[in-house]
Amino acid sequence: MEKTNLLPKISIITITYNAESYIERTLKSVIEQDYNNIEYIIIDGNSTDKTMSVVEKYKENIDVIVSEKDKGIYDAMNKGLLAASGDWINFLNAGDTFINDNVLSNVISPLSSKYSIIYGDWINVNDNGIYNYMTAHPKLNLKILKHNFLICHQSLFIKNINLPLYDTSYKIKADYQWVVDIVKKTNELEIQYINEPLVHYDIDGLSATKLLLNVKEYIKLTYTNFGIVHVILNIPIYSKYVIKDMIIKILTLKGKL
């Protein structure tokens, strides 16, 4: 990609595996941004379909391409972090797209240097055309994170300074833990909320069968970072996950009868 030194470099990292049917929309979403200082990184988990053939079509616009076996999505995301040289980091995984072609220009500018975290709203989408506008919490701090992760990882831009790696002992909640680790050492005045959608987040990749694991990791994360009192206070939130899991299983069973 064409580079300019006038703007901070943004490292956009896309994690992908067997995504031949939807990786192209993500690639185009990044490549067609009007921002002129992007480092684009593709980390593929050694796909067995035609994902890498699609990526190969756009290789002139991609700075780093890695395709090899990994130990899961967070291992792949760590590879992306270690490869990134940008001033800012953003993860836009296969199937996700920026809301329009000037998102990066609107989010990052020379004036953004006073911030360490910039984030915004997002829109959940799936292949059936269902859209759901999601509003991030306007105050990203530990008080909020004690109870829920009310932001979208894809609509999050983090300054690339001494960033921690993802804790791969988590299979679902490592992104939550990653943000907690970063917010712990970030002054709240260095966090900027943008009250508009930045990305379309592809929810088709979410597995209903992992909802209970989600709850287990949620409890582990809460206990590790905030103590047993907050585990107890969050029981109503955990219960919602369990009820949702039961409803999905019932509807799935009815569909098979």
Model pLDDT, residue 141: 94
List the single range of 1-5, 46-50, 201-205, 210-214 with lowest mean pLDDT.
1-5
The upper half-sphere exposure of residue 120, i.e. CA atoms within 13 Å in the direction of its Cβ, equals 21
Per-residue pLDDT tens over the stretch 167-226:
999 999 999 999 999 999 999 999 999 999 999 998 765 544 577 788 899 999 999 999
Q: Can you give the pTM of this predicted structure?
A: 0.89
> Is residue 5, in this structure, part of any structural domain at all?
no
The tens digit of pLDDT for each residue in 130-140 reads 788 999 999 99
- The last residue of a domain, from among 205, 221, 247: 205
Check whether residue 166 and residue 250 sit in a common domain: no
Boundaries of domain holding 118 = 10-205
Q: Mean pLDDT throughout 37-41? A: 97
Structure confidence at residue 186 (pLDDT)? 96
Residue with tokens 């240097």: 113
Please check whether residues 199 and 215 belong to one and the same domain: no
Q: Kindly state the average pLDDT of the residues 47-64.
A: 96
Check whether residue 170 and residue 253 sit in a common domain. no
In a domain, 1, yes or no: no
- Residue 252: pLDDT above 60? no
Check residue 2 and give its pLDDT.
47
The helix/strand/coil state of 30 is helix
Shared-domain flag, residues 217 and 121: no
In 3D space, the residue among 28, 191, 35 whose CA is nearest the CA of residue 103 turns out to be: 35
224 part of a folded domain: yes
| pLDDT higher than 70, residue 83 | yes
User: In total, how many domains does the chain have?
Assistant: 2
One domain for residues 112 and 231: no
- Inside any domain, residue 4: no
Q: Could you tell me if 194 and 211 lie in one domain?
A: no
The verdict on 47 and 140 lying in the same domain is yes
Q: 1 pLDDT exceeds 70?
A: no
**Residues 173 and 230 placed together within one structural domain of the fold:** no
d(CA 181, CA 130): 33
- How far apart CA 77 and CA 93 sit, in angstroms, is 10
* For range 90-119, the mean pLDDT: 93
Which one of 169, 187, 205 terminates a domain?
Answer: 205
Same structural domain, 45 and 77: yes
Residue 253 is predicted with a pLDDT of 55
- pLDDT over 70 at 78, yes or no: yes
Residue 86 pLDDT level (bands cut at 50, 70, 90): very high
Within a domain: 98: yes
Amino acid in position 218 = Y
For residue 3, being part of any structural domain is answered with no
How much of the chain, in percent, has pLDDT values that exceed 90? 74
- Residue 174 inside a domain? The answer is yes
The domain that contains 79 carries what CATH number?
3.90.550.10
> Are residues 190 and 78 located together in one domain of the fold?
yes
Q: What is the pLDDT of residue 8?
A: 94
Spatial CB neighbours of 164, under 8 Å, sequence gap ≥ 6: 178, 181, 182
Supply the mean pLDDT for the chain: 89
Instruction: Check residue 257 and give its pLDDT.
Output: 46
pLDDT at 153 over 60: yes
- Per-residue pLDDT band at 75 (split at 50, 70, 90): very high
Residues 163 and 239 occupy one common structural domain: no
What is the distance of C-alpha 165 from the center of its chain? 14
pLDDT at 126 over 90: no
On whether both 167 and 233 belong to a single domain, the answer is no
